[in-house]
A and B are shown apart, each in its own frame.
Chain A
Amino acid sequence: MVAVLTRIFGVHNFALAEDAVQDAFCRAVEVWKFKGVPENPSAWLMAIAKNRALDVLRRQRTARNYAPEFGRLLESEWTLAPVVEEQFSETVIKDGVLRMMFSCCQPRLPEEAQVGLVLHILCGFSVSEVAGAFMSTHAAVEKRLARSKKVLAESRRLFDLANATEFAERLPAVHRALYLLFNEGYHGASAEAAVRGELCREAMRLTALLIEHPLGKTPVTHALAALMCLNAARLPTKVDSLGNLNSLGDQDRSRWDRKLIGEGLALWELSAAGSELTAYHIEAAIGAAHGRAARAEDTDWPAIVALYDALMTLHPSPVAALSRAIAVAQRDGPDRGLAELAAIDGAERLEKYPFYPATLGELELRRGRNEVAREHFRTAIKLGRNPMERRFLELRLQACR
């Protein structure tokens, strides 16, 4: 909604758009208190927002400059309502969301600020929810969002989706923001929950929107969408009904979302069309390798190790190295896995990451060195970031008896 109104009012009037949406919500709540929530609340809200837009534009007909694209069409009753109506039509709303997404991912903002803006403006997350997503404080996020919005409002106009060159230039930043958003949900470091499906779903919804756009439908976007589908397919079993975290090997694979795996594999086929190989391609391929294994012991570990090798060449990171070491252990046994772990470049960056000592513990346990394993799991528990992680690690610790 903010995206649509910003499109009409102009990006420099971003605050006005936010106020109008806030107003629309307040009015809706007032009415719903008495009359109950209508059958289609979102259509209802849209209608209120549309009327709010017309109100604002009529009252301040010439007091402000609105979006330059509409010229003076918003000044006259001949054209005001039809122009606003058009912006609220479904296809134009989709474009509006996409345009806002590209506008948020502008290079003047640090990556985390871009993702924060996307969450706040396009996913409707409150300041506290954004703070939750980034393990940051309310005050810090509020300050950063205010700064980001100022930067956004200073950009003369919203991103022009029709400009193919600029679209292609900005696309990687948009991919990155969507990837971070998905990962934040999938491997979240939040204090409440280890997995937050709503962040994953939002990332997938926005990525699907990107695929619908002729310029957004690139092999890289397909790879990103594939990796999201293939990983999200495992969400139903990653956390069980008791809220316990399950490791990949212990998951009930019959409950994996077969439809999402199918979609992911189809998207992955499409992603192979280009000449560019990205980390998204490789991560999707890893997801596909897991998705195809009917049982944990059917997993093609040699292929997965090879994919992690490729990922390390393309985009080395300590977390990828850790995952690679786990795959090596699966292929060649715990001794080789531990050797790989010891050789990780930049392992000190994993110091705070609970799954580094947890992996050490797991491999030591497999070698039968239960006492050493227990020590590692104790360290891991201290680093656990939410009750879910800690409970999972406690159970692993108990397994060392």
Chain B
Amino acid sequence: MSEFTYLFRGRDMTVSREQQQKTMEKWAAWFKELTANGHLKEPGHPLVATGKVVGGKKKTVSDGPFVEAKDIIGGYVVVEARDLAHAAELAKGCPVLEIGGSVEIREIRTINV
């Protein structure tokens, strides 16, 4: 078993409040499923679309990130799966896919000193 982070990208800003409600219910259902099967390691959080970026040696603070809506990271979780293929399979249940978004799956790197 290894741990993987899912980075969810893409959000639909045009939906009504009712649709939002429905979407939240879908997320909750998916999380319950992941929890029930013992795959949810860290439930993470959804993220606000805009923020600040601190970068470079000069530690410049700027607004951002300015990327297309479909590339904005909308949240993260950490799951436990057998391997990358298994983690990818589990990600297929994610509601973000229904609005044309994507899930990026990255294994957590263990750093041994």
Contact = CB atoms under 8 A, between A and B. Distances in A.
Interface of A: 71-73, 75-79, 81-83, 86
Question: Helix, strand, loop or mixed for chain A's interface?
Answer: loop
B44 interface: yes
Nearest to A86: B28
Chain B CB within 10 Å, residue with most, of A73, A75, A78: A78
Nearest to B31: A79
Contact of A81 (B24, B31, B77): B24
A78 B25 contact: no
A82 B45 contact: no
Contacts of B35: 71-73
Contact of B43 (A78, A81, A82, A86): A78
Contact of B25 (A72, A75, A82): A82
A79 B46 CA distance: 10
Interface residues of B, number: 14
A175 B31 CA distance: 38
A78 B32 contact: no
Interface of B: 24-25, 27-28, 31-32, 35, 40, 43-46, 75, 77
Given A78-B31, A78-B77, A73 B25 contact: no
B94 to A, nearest CB: 11
A76 B28 CA distance: 10
A206 to B, nearest CB: 30
B21 to A, nearest CB: 9
Contacts of B44: 76, 78
A73 B45 contact: no
Contacts of B25: 82
Given A71-B35, A72-B35, A82 B28 contact: yes
A83 B43 CA distance: 14
Contacts of A77: 45-46
A73 B46 contact: no
Contacts of B77: 76, 78
Contacts of A73: 28, 31-32, 35, 43
Interface centre among A71, A77, A79 (most CB of B within 10 A): A79
Nearest to A71: B35
A139 to B, nearest CB: 46
Contact of B28 (A71, A72, A75, A79): A79
Contacts of A83: 28
A255 B22 CA distance: 51
Contacts of A82: 24-25, 27-28
Given A73-B31, A78-B75, A79-B28, 15 more contacts: A72-B40, A72-B43, A73-B32, A73-B43, A76-B31, A76-B44, A76-B77, A77-B45, A77-B46, A78-B31, A78-B43, A78-B45, A82-B24, A82-B25, A83-B28
B23 to A, nearest CB: 10
A77 B43 CA distance: 8
23 contacts: A71-B35, A71-B40, A72-B35, A72-B43, A73-B32, A73-B35, A73-B43, A75-B43, A76-B31, A76-B44, A77-B46, A78-B27, A78-B28, A78-B31, A78-B45, A78-B46, A78-B75, A79-B28, A82-B24, A82-B25, A82-B27, A82-B28, A86-B28
Contacts of A75: 43
